[in-house]
Structure 1
Amino acid sequence: MTVVGTVLTHSKDDFTFITKCPFKVGEFVCYLMNQNHILARVRHTEPLNDYPVEFLFDAVIDASDLAAFYGLDNNDYQYYRVSAAVVGYFDRAFNEFINPRVKPLSGTKIELADAQILSDVNRVSEGEVGSAHIGTIMSTNSGAVLSVREMVSQHLSIIAATGAGKSYTVGVIVEELMSKNNMASVLIFDPHGEYSVLSDIQNNPAFCDGDYRPKVKIVKSDQIKIRVGDLRVADFISIMDDGSMTEKMKRLFKKAYDKLKKDDKQKTRNFTKNELQETIESLRDGKNESTIDGILWRYGRVTDEKMFDDYQSIPLRSYFQPGQLTIIDVSNIGDWKQQLIADILLRHLFDARKGTDNEYYSEHQHPDRYIPYPTFIILEEAHRFAPQAGEAKSKNTLKTILSEGRKFGIGIAMVTQRPSKLDADSLSQCMTQITMRIINPSDQKQIEQSIESVSRDLIEELPSLARGQAIISGVAINTPVTVNIRGRRTAHIRGQSKDAPGIWREYKLGQDSNTIITAPSHKLDVGV
């Protein structure tokens, strides 16, 4: 390995070394102690010596020329003071870094961490089953490889400001999940309709191996049906209530719903829209005519909505299969419908996985609820479904899965550009974090409070990360690391900013080439 510096001193939290290399925050160095190479992460870099201030007054004369004129050695001004935090040595028996609890002595030689040492940053090796190669460690050619087992079982967060490469990174993660090394069961809940380009996966030879060929299923919002019998009282009221539904109306509606549900326990099917309407009608007693009429008028919002069906529901087995990516495109419907669909999908999936694992459901008796394998859901615009302030229909179900889903093999990826608007408890449940450029101070504060594994110096680096760079931390990797996200194998996801000048010019020039331009017959209106 290459010696790059010498230890000067140390403090409680880190040590300082002198070097000619302008290290960036997050880069790795190492030193030898008791025959172990100790990995350390750079926290801060600053020049060791400054030129005398008088050398800087003249903007024309170079300070180095003045130093030479006065007999000073310019090499003295080429050194940096670098502080670094000890990560530790990798113990293969424990499969983790062990901090030696002793800082290096003054005079200890600092070396550049080579590929062999940097490979210990990864929990798994590139190309093995359960691996996800998503890029290279900053300033190196060493791969950054995540453990898919840990990532999907203990949830993932992907956080980035608009334009930092968030959706692109989601695409890289999906590519890895659908590769022959994983053959995952993945569903993307897509509020903007930007992930349909990932359908390229099923026709791309890079993802095929022998008999394995990944499948991509795209579901549009008009194809989604929710069985009316699967709705809860709160769901109905949230649909029916425009702010004018009285407490008496709500009580009577709940009475009708409970009565029908009680009767339904004796049946082998759920109730229909007409049956619920008839049950509401049956509550008329001569004293509540106007109230019943008000309920029925509002209930029309349910009966008129094509999404609600008497018999069809979300086909879990069709959406979740190993080696299949399902994209739920809900881009052309409103927030409340998106939240309702997400809530019922998550609720049914949790019930199915829990029931399958506990052997309540069998393939022959419950084919629509029997899911004998883990699943992974990527939730774009996660702050819409679990907001920090206010409520969303999906919030409680999502929080339940984030806290209990690990036991039943349900993984969630929370993707957002505004972490400060995302429920803090939900974010803290994501034990692997991919954090890209974040500029907003309130968003940075939320990240610092919710993600324990990221140090303050790395948080301070978030605004300066380039597009496509990310700080990865958590259980899927052995220590936090700054990564350059690799190139995509599929087409770029739609959603990037439009090239307005280019489009204007292309349209105008194309228009003019087919138009004979004549002088105006009147004076042009040049405005005020």
Structure 2
Amino acid sequence: MGIMRIGYVVATATPFEFIATLDPERPVSLYDYVAVDHVEYDATNGEYINVRLLGQIVKLFRDPYSAKRDLPLYSVMKEVSDNILEVQIAKVKVLGYIYNGELRQPKHPPRIGTPVYLAENEEIAELFKIDGGLCVGRLASRDLEICLDLNGVKRHVAVIAATGSGKTWFSVVFIEELLKKGAKIVVVDPHGEYVPIKDSIYKLGPYSATVVKLSKHHVGDLMYKIGVLDSDPDALANAAGVPPGAKKIRYAIYLAWSYAKKVKKTTGKALGLSFLRQVLHTALRGETALNKLFQQYKVEGDFPMEDLKQLAKKDRHSIFSALMYLKKLQRLGVFSSKSTPLSKILADITIVNLAGVNEEVQDYVVSHIVNRIFQARVRHVRSLKGLKIPWPVVLVVEEAHRFAPPKTLRKTKSYEALSRVASEGRKFGVYLVIVSQRPSKVDPDVISQCQSQVIMRIVNPKDQEAVRESSELLAQEFLENLPGLDVGEAVVLGPLTRLPVVIRLRDRVLEYGGADIDLAKVWRIDKTADVLQLWRRIYNTPPSPSVILSASRLKILHKRRERNRIEVLLLDGDREVSVVIEDGRPICSVCGVGKPCPHVYKALEEAVEII
């Protein structure tokens, strides 16, 4: 039946796998697909049927037939290498057979001696046929497009790869495909790598993109603000950098926060860090000042007013320290009197640019945003009062190990929010895509909830073990081959695909900023503009084209700096020329002082960064 016979079934034939000997001259590669003619019993009709059993090569090696396992010495091989009998052995994982449009698993093993054929593209395409799928790339072994099942996203996805293997590349391609299907996406971006998507979104289509930032010095459309009284005092202390053991400082913040909460309840005013600082500053001035403040805002009960008075008497140092921490926190600009409305930040894709703030603030912001999105979806599904999000949301969390580490390692605020989405998000239409280069440092409970996995090159044994423990579908052969994947290749398994598949990513359309720095390019930066500016400053006129051209022919032999003196030694033909630059004034050993010559221009190219 096959168009190319490549070998025969020779050993260990079971309904799940078999060993085949392949023609050493045939072009067969790891992960390629093969087929054998097979007979199965159809219980429905009570008859035997001829089927085409498909399999995937998961292990491939060559051996000298005559030597078996007692491999010959080099000297022997040298004499007989042209005549030695070579065998090519493949371990084939049985995938099943297509019958009446369904993929079925065989109940009988293929017979020993059955011919093995290279599977045809049409047969493979039928295996992975998905209508309206997410077309992220092609088979690693064939030029055949592979599309992933959109509904697989509902079971959450983990993207796992070593640094530089292409995990952000996959994430961007995945985002492109989701946007084409009308998805709403929120990306948690610790380093601002996804921010360039905003300026390149037009290449993909008429989609809206919003970049939310935490630092005013970084790129973004608007600042994300968290209402101080929407948070809890412990989280405020963590974000401000208060040490966990500084209980008295934390207590002072707690009292100021509690009083602000009561004042808000009484007056209806939105209060922020400025009010908390005012309370603590008043406490430093003593009980009389506090009484005047309490009279201004009359609230019920004695707490926390009496506690503030006692603290003001006994521990002014803790109050002063708490005041300094809150001042530092206010300077960040993240905490305010009111939280930024979700309606302002949500677009087709929202990128939360976390760059520019410490990990504690990042942790709290992620927790805050994820909880708000989850609660808005719960309200929509259950028809409850309050802000609702009417469409499902995909949360892409880059560097997930920062936000959801194992509970035994450290505790984060965002872990609680992400863990809840992982366990309950499917019911309410909040789907998780976690991205990490260190799966061993992601909480096992979170990663195990991601039933679909995209696994790229992984070298670290601990990370390989974490992947194996979190995935029931990853065969040992795939695990062993993970270090050998090329950049942009990935094993995809779980609900995203009918069968585990090795793909090669397609080119992306959107831009991202996560690529490695090209050192050769960076260190070869054109300094012409800086040299021209320096030349004008020295000579009050631009250099002539002939000077620039002549300077390009000169070679640098040596340069040396001593305090404010820079000496550059040049080679002009066979002649050595010295240019000394001292206090910004160049002196050429050939052309003299103050003369605009090619030697000075060349020396300025070398010295411009220092000057």
Pairwise TM-score range, normalised by the shorter structure: 0.7 to 0.9
Which residue identity does 1:47 align to in structure 2? R
2:58 maps to 43
1:215 maps to 208
Distance 2:100 2:254 in 1: 59
1:320 maps to 346
1:354 maps to 378
Q: Confirm or deny: 8 A CA contact 1:123 1:146 kept in the other structure.
A: no
Q: Confirm or deny: 8 A CA contact 1:302 1:308 kept in the other structure.
A: no
Q: Confirm or deny: 8 A CA contact 1:22 1:80 kept in the other structure.
A: no
Which residue identity does 1:195 align to in structure 2? Y
**Deviations 1:249-273 (CA, angstroms, capped at 9, x unpaired):** 5456546645655776678676544
Cα offset, 1:122, TM superposition: 3.0
SS of 2:517's equivalent?
coil
**Deviations 1:55-106 (CA, angstroms, capped at 9, x unpaired):** 8526865611xx2xxxxxx6x52x412111222234677x6x4322322111
Taking the TM superposition and a 5 Å limit, the aligned residue runs for 1:7-46 are 7-11=9-13, 14-20=17-23, 21=26, 23-33=28-38, 34=40, 35-46=50-61
SS of 2:578's equivalent?
coil
TM-score by length of 2: 0.72
1:410 maps to 430
Q: Which has the higher contact order (CA 8 A, sep 6+)?
A: 1
Q: Provide closer, same or farther for how the CA distance between residues 267 and 408 of structure 1 changes in structure 2, counting only shifts above 3 A.
A: farther
TM-score by length of 1: 0.83
Q: Confirm or deny: 8 A CA contact 2:332 2:357 kept in the other structure.
A: no
Q: Confirm or deny: 8 A CA contact 2:394 2:433 kept in the other structure.
A: yes
**Deviations 1:32-71 (CA, angstroms, capped at 9, x unpaired):** 333333222222222254355668526865611xx2xxxx
Q: Provide closer, same or farther for how the CA distance between residues 334 and 286 of structure 1 changes in structure 2, counting only shifts above 3 A.
A: closer
Taking the TM superposition and a 5 Å limit, the aligned residue runs for 1:378-417 are 378-388=396-406, 389-417=409-437
1:136 maps to 138
**Deviations 1:335-378 (CA, angstroms, capped at 9, x unpaired):** 222111111000111111111111113xxxx4xx2201100121
Q: Confirm or deny: 8 A CA contact 1:249 1:291 kept in the other structure.
A: no
Q: Provide closer, same or farther for how the CA distance between residues 54 and 186 of structure 1 changes in structure 2, counting only shifts above 3 A.
A: closer
Cα offset, 1:278, TM superposition: 6.7
**Deviations 1:370-409 (CA, angstroms, capped at 9, x unpaired):** 2011001211111111113212221111111111111111
In structure 2, the gaps of 5 or more residues are 41-49, 217-222, 284-304, 532-546, 555-569, 571-576, 582-611
Give the number of aligned pairs: 489
Q: Provide closer, same or farther for how the CA distance between residues 256 and 197 of structure 1 changes in structure 2, counting only shifts above 3 A.
A: closer
Q: Provide closer, same or farther for how the CA distance between residues 248 and 195 of structure 1 changes in structure 2, counting only shifts above 3 A.
A: closer
2:601 maps to none
Distance 1:421 1:476 in 2: 24
Q: Provide closer, same or farther for how the CA distance between residues 480 and 267 of structure 1 changes in structure 2, counting only shifts above 3 A.
A: farther
1:103 maps to 109
Which residue identity does 1:39 align to in structure 2? L
**Deviations 1:126-150 (CA, angstroms, capped at 9, x unpaired):** xx2xx21011112112211111222
Which residue identity does 2:578 align to in structure 1? A
Q: Provide closer, same or farther for how the CA distance between residues 319 and 119 of structure 1 changes in structure 2, counting only shifts above 3 A.
A: farther
Which residue identity does 2:9 align to in structure 1? V
Q: Which among 392, 416, 420 is matched to residue 374 of structure 1?
A: 392
Taking the TM superposition and a 5 Å limit, the aligned residue runs for 1:441-456 are 441-456=461-476
Q: Provide closer, same or farther for how the CA distance between residues 242 and 29 of structure 1 changes in structure 2, counting only shifts above 3 A.
A: same
Cα offset, 1:488, TM superposition: 1.6
Which residue identity does 1:225 align to in structure 2? K
Which residue identity does 2:58 align to in structure 1? R
Q: Confirm or deny: 8 A CA contact 1:201 1:214 kept in the other structure.
A: no
2:184 maps to 185
Taking the TM superposition and a 5 Å limit, the aligned residue runs for 1:21-420 are 21=26, 23-33=28-38, 34=40, 35-47=50-62, 49-50=64-65, 56-57=74-75, 63-64=81-82, 67=83, 76-77=85-86, 79-90=87-98, 97-122=103-128, 124-125=130-131, 128=132, 131-151=133-153, 153-179=154-180, 182-204=181-203, 207-208=204-205, 213-221=206-214, 222=216, 223-240=223-240, 242-243=242-243, 246-248=246-248, 250-251=250-251, 253-254=253-254, 257=257, 261=261, 271-273=271-273, 276=276, 282=305, 283-286=307-310, 289-291=313-315, 294-295=318-319, 297-302=321-326, 304-321=330-347, 324-361=348-385, 366=386, 369-388=387-406, 389-420=409-440
Q: Confirm or deny: 8 A CA contact 1:434 1:471 kept in the other structure.
A: yes
Q: Which among 459, 481, 499 is matched to residue 479 of structure 1?
A: 499
**Deviations 1:423-463 (CA, angstroms, capped at 9, x unpaired):** 12211111111111111111111111112211111011111
Q: Confirm or deny: 8 A CA contact 1:89 1:98 kept in the other structure.
A: yes
1:525 maps to none
Which residue identity does 2:163 align to in structure 1? T
Q: Confirm or deny: 8 A CA contact 1:9 1:105 kept in the other structure.
A: no
Q: Confirm or deny: 8 A CA contact 1:473 1:479 kept in the other structure.
A: yes
SS of 1:452's equivalent?
coil
Rg larger in 1 or in 2?
2
Q: Provide closer, same or farther for how the CA distance between residues 200 and 102 of structure 1 changes in structure 2, counting only shifts above 3 A.
A: farther
**Deviations 1:482-504 (CA, angstroms, capped at 9, x unpaired):** 1111112234x323222223433
1:500 matches 2:519:
yes
**Deviations 1:260-316 (CA, angstroms, capped at 9, x unpaired):** 557766786765445555777523344653446624641443352343454432332
Q: Confirm or deny: 8 A CA contact 1:45 1:80 kept in the other structure.
A: yes
Distance 1:295 1:439 in 2: 50
SS of 1:15's equivalent?
strand
Q: Confirm or deny: 8 A CA contact 1:314 1:345 kept in the other structure.
A: no
Q: Confirm or deny: 8 A CA contact 1:218 1:326 kept in the other structure.
A: yes
SS of 1:139's equivalent?
coil
Q: Confirm or deny: 8 A CA contact 1:435 1:472 kept in the other structure.
A: yes
